[in-house]
Amino acid sequence: MIPLTAPPQILSRRAGVVEPENSVVEAHSTEIAHEPQSFLRRYVFSQDHKVIGLQYLLTAVFVALVAGGLAILIRMQLAWPSATWPLLQKVFPAGMTGGVMKPEFYLSLVTMHGTLMVFFVISYALLGGFGNYLIPLQIGARDMAYPFLNMLSYWVALLATLVMLSSFFVEGGAAAAGWTSYPPLSAVPEAVPGSAWGQTLWLLGMALFIVSFTMGGLNYFVTILNLRAEGMTLMRLPLTIWSLFLATIIGLLSFPPLTAAAIMLLMDRHGGTSFYLPAGMFFGNKLLPNQGGTPLLWQHLFWFLGHPEVYVLILPALGMAFDVIAAFTRKPVFGYRMTVYSFCAIGVLGMVVWGHHMYVSGMSPYIGEFFSVGTLLITIPSAIIGFNLLACFWGGSLRFRTPMLFATGLVALFGLGGFGGIFLGTPTSDIFLHDSYFVVGHFHFMIGGVTLFGLLAGVYYWYPKFFGRMMNESLGKIHFWLTFVSFYFVFLWMHFLGLGGMPRRYYAFTEYKFLEGLSEQNLYITFAAFILGAAQLLFLFNFVWSLRKGAKAPENPWEAATLEWTAPSPPPHGNWPGPLPVVYRWPYEYGVAAGGLDYLPQTDAGGPTSG
């Protein structure tokens, strides 16, 4: 077992072998820690980073099925607001009285769909799943710095998931104050049915999620800084590792304020305090005794996390896209250092622009100008990243396998989604668009689309490393085209609905004459959303079927240069059977003639070193 308090690895230089000066970290060097033999220790309470990564990934898949089901219910209501659904009445007797969806049940669906997707699907899959699996493999380490803490982070995350999902089964139902949980709806238990125990469980689930992220984030930070293989300098790290490293730092800095905010909200709900509740509030003809609070305090604390969280999720997807595109264009990443610096710039600027989510809250125009300028400045490093991604294609020998298709789709979504962000980062246009479907479309392009396509590109690309099998290529390409076309149809169209004035969070639009010309379009969007959901079921079939029936993967099926492909597929306990690899060059040495290959792996000592 690797001690929880293991100090940083100190390396001596000896060709081909890495030796620690302190025997406490032997498990991270030439000695491989004893592999657990019992089923529980190997696959359930495992301390192996690869098993933990797959646990996160599979948990994310389960939660995605739940959250996707909620999205289908939302679209059904918007397409057929007056329809009756007898079967749904049996499943949700309190929310579908008479087979017709109640407005408060619709709000709980929207609240839980957003919460589960952002925090319990995308975060789990990209940070927990790929972060755990890839960091030691791509930096040349045996495991994470603190394996026990790593295991603990997953089980706390699983507890957070169960607490959040349990809110569906309490009296009053799940939280219904929106995924942002703005007071007073979230602070007053009598506000709406979901404001009772459902909201309390939402807050507890989020607090546990942040505890889990903090444990995992500290582990990532220490591992990347201290357990890199000999020769693996910072500028030889793959961009996937750089993006995970910076996303971890952003998360560690921005999550604690939401923890404090959640504790204060719980005290307002159950302890009689007034952090968020001002004087003179009535609910049900009852004057509340609270005084002195302000709901804007929650908005500031939430968005201090909420906007950096955008980059916590997007940066890993972008980093993974660079790795995939380099392997399938057979040329080095364009502008590697500028991309790293742009990642850093986005991380810094992303921490100080949370107020652009609050232009309609009555803030001073001068403060709004500060947030607007900062937001628009982010377009500079974002544009650099986008141009570098596009430049990777120029002059390359393109291989459009399934991972490459999804990475290319990510580039398209990142460009168009970022363009829509300019309108929402400027107060004059955001005030008009803020409460409309334009925001829903933009949010899904960036948080839904960029991350989804990066995640799927990563799954198809690293699936051979995970399981030693190849996913079916034909099914993968069908999955891509169904997903890409339907995704654009659903969420690009929402931008135009927003420009037409259609407000978000409304459960029906039948009472508004100015929307009569737009309401029918919800029907078309719903059909496209059904296709989008069905495409993901095809992906799940391919994922499971390939575990047994997929072709056996070669050791390096994509002829990639990064370090993880020098380990067996799937990697054994300790990742490399012999000594840890020694790194001589950067991770994108493509387009070179070397022994009949057009790339040099990072461990190749022939020729001049690079990076």
Q: How many residues are there in the chain?
A: 611
Q: Which residue has the tokens 């646990």?
A: 55
How many Å is the Cα radius of gyration of the chain? 25
Q: Of 306, 304, 334, 311, whose CA–CA distance to 322 is shortest?
A: 334
Q: How confident is the model at residue 597 (pLDDT cuts 50, 70, 90)?
A: confident
Q: Which residue has the tokens 């968020």?
A: 276
pLDDT in tens, 295-313: 999 999 999 999 999 999 9
355 close to 303: Cβ distance less than 8 angstroms: yes
493 close to 576: Cβ distance less than 8 angstroms: no
Fold of 11-275+287-599: Cytochrome C Oxidase; Chain A (1.20.210)
Instruction: Give the pLDDT of residue 591.
Output: 85
Instruction: Give the pLDDT of residue 316.
Output: 97
Secondary structure in 3-state letters for 310-339:
HHHHHHHHHHHHHHHHHHHHCCCCCCHHHH
pLDDT in tens, 354-372: 999 999 998 888 899 999 9
What percent of the chain has a predicted confidence (pLDDT) above 90?
78
| Range scoring the smallest mean pLDDT among 11-20, 79-88, 492-501, 514-523 | 11-20
What percent of the chain has a predicted confidence (pLDDT) above 70?
92
3-state helix, strand, coil in the chain (%, to 5): 65, 5, 30
Instruction: Give the pLDDT of residue 292.
Output: 87
Burial level of 233, CB count in 10 A (0-12/13-18/19+)? Answer: exposed
pLDDT in tens, 171-195: 889 999 999 999 999 998 888 888 8
Local structure of 11: helix, strand or coil: strand
Rounded to 10 degrees, the C-alpha dihedral 91/96/101/104 comes to -100
* Residue 217, CA distances (Å) to 132, 149, 251, 569 in order: 10, 10, 8, 26
pLDDT in tens, 103-157: 999 999 999 999 999 999 999 999 999 999 999 999 999 999 999 999 999 999 9
Q: Looking at the predicted structure, is the pLDDT value of residue 5 above 50?
A: no
Q: How confident is the model at residue 23 (pLDDT cuts 50, 70, 90)?
A: very low
98 close to 84: Cβ distance less than 8 angstroms: yes
